[in-house]
Amino acid sequence: MTIYPALITDALKTVRYPGNGKSLVENDMVADDIRIDGNRVTFSLIFDKSTDPFVKSVIRAAETAINTYVGAEVEIRGNITPMFRQQAPKAPEKLLPGVRNIIGVSSGKGGVGKSTVAANLAVSLAAKGYKVGLLDADIFGPSMPKMFGVEGEQLYMVNQDGRDWIEPVEKYGVKMLSIGFVVDADKPVLWRGGMASNALKQLIGDAWWGDLDYFVIDMPPGTSDIHLTLVQTLAITGVVVVTTPQEVALADARKGIAMFTGDKVNVPILGLVENMAWFTPASHPDERYYIFGRDGGARLAEETGVELLARIPLVADICGQADAGDPIVRSAGGTEAGENPEAEAFSTLADRVVEAVDRRNREQPPTAKVELQH
């Protein structure tokens, strides 16, 4: 077959850049240096900076697209060269000027109670007198509307500073937004990565969060482009990693810690939370049964040099109150000492997080946030 540049360009129109969901052609990333020698094709792709985390994946996607849409016989693998635009550094502007600290709550896998920890951490911080916001960034599995008992809540706009903003839902002293407010709760969210990232950016940048001491983000489980979107959009103060003592959860937690501390993400780990550390019957708060293993989170904290912030017991009340839209931490201090060990554990976690954030800010003052383009 005869190969000509227009075929290559048409194939590259099908490749989306994960950072904004637009095609390589729309982003003007295809250099004007396409060379064809028989079946061999060479050209360059232009990226904004050498630290772009998507360079390798975009090049692989471009190779696959050309072999798929132009022909399998095209010799393209290894023939695409990355180039980088030379840009004068711009002074960063704050995206959320009224937010003092941004805390991500993450987990290496699902099912370890990450969202429960995020919800109770936010409510506990608010109960201690802090101004708190909570973003449900788990785009494909939003659970905060259920946990706060605000399913079916309608979002409204508020006019501030001469423009309209999304007004977060407020309950238990926490300002909260979730994609769950704008999608059908009974249907799956079938979005590609670019669509999910753009929706998340809108929840962050088009909402009126006001002045906050802590902005808690319930991140999706695992590692994904949503995490990259968050760290590229916001100057995150630090991340709290949630795990259970079970070995399979610990293995995934190690990957999560490695992702955040790696060169491409480089976000500090505030500490580790060992959730479901033991089972305690509600009627016998002094008894402990280590049904998921014992001291796994403590061992991981020691192995990685990360602080163990809290060990949260598994009590039936946690699940029941979460399903009822009433976070368990609201029971802390409301009964005699020891009667609500899980509530007291979450309250202690909030204190430890405040201490960890203060240490982090003393060591390295927060940097400015990068403003989203509307």
Mean pLDDT of 97-109: 90
Average pLDDT score over the chain? 83
| Tens of pLDDT, residues 330-358 | 765 543 444 577 888 899 999 999 999 99
Task: Extract the tokens encoding 83.
Answer: 């180039």
Q: Spell out the SS3 assignment of 83-104.
A: EECCCCCCCCCCCCCCEEEEEE
Give the model's pLDDT for residue 12: 94
Residue 358 CA to residue 350 CA, distance in Å, equals 12
For 6-59, the pLDDT digits (tens) are 899 999 999 999 888 899 999 999 988 888 888 899 999 999 888 888 999 999
What is the reported pTM? 0.69
> In sequence order, what are the residues at sequence separation of 6 or more whose Cβ sits closer than 8 angstroms to the Cβ of residue 284?
none
Give me the domains of the chain, ranges plus CATH numbers. Answer: 13-84 (3.30.300.130), 99-363 (3.40.50.300)
User: φ, ψ for residue 85 (rounded to 5)?
Assistant: -70, 140
Q: How confident is the model at residue 88 (pLDDT cuts 50, 70, 90)?
A: very low
The pLDDT tens digits of the residues spanning 252-294 come to 899 888 888 887 778 899 999 999 988 877 777 778 888 888 8
Q: What is the pLDDT of residue 367?
A: 43
Contacts of 245 (CB under 8 A, 6+ apart): 274, 276, 277, 290, 292, 293, 294, 295, 296, 297
**172-204 per-position pLDDT tens digit:** 999 999 988 877 666 766 666 667 778 888 888
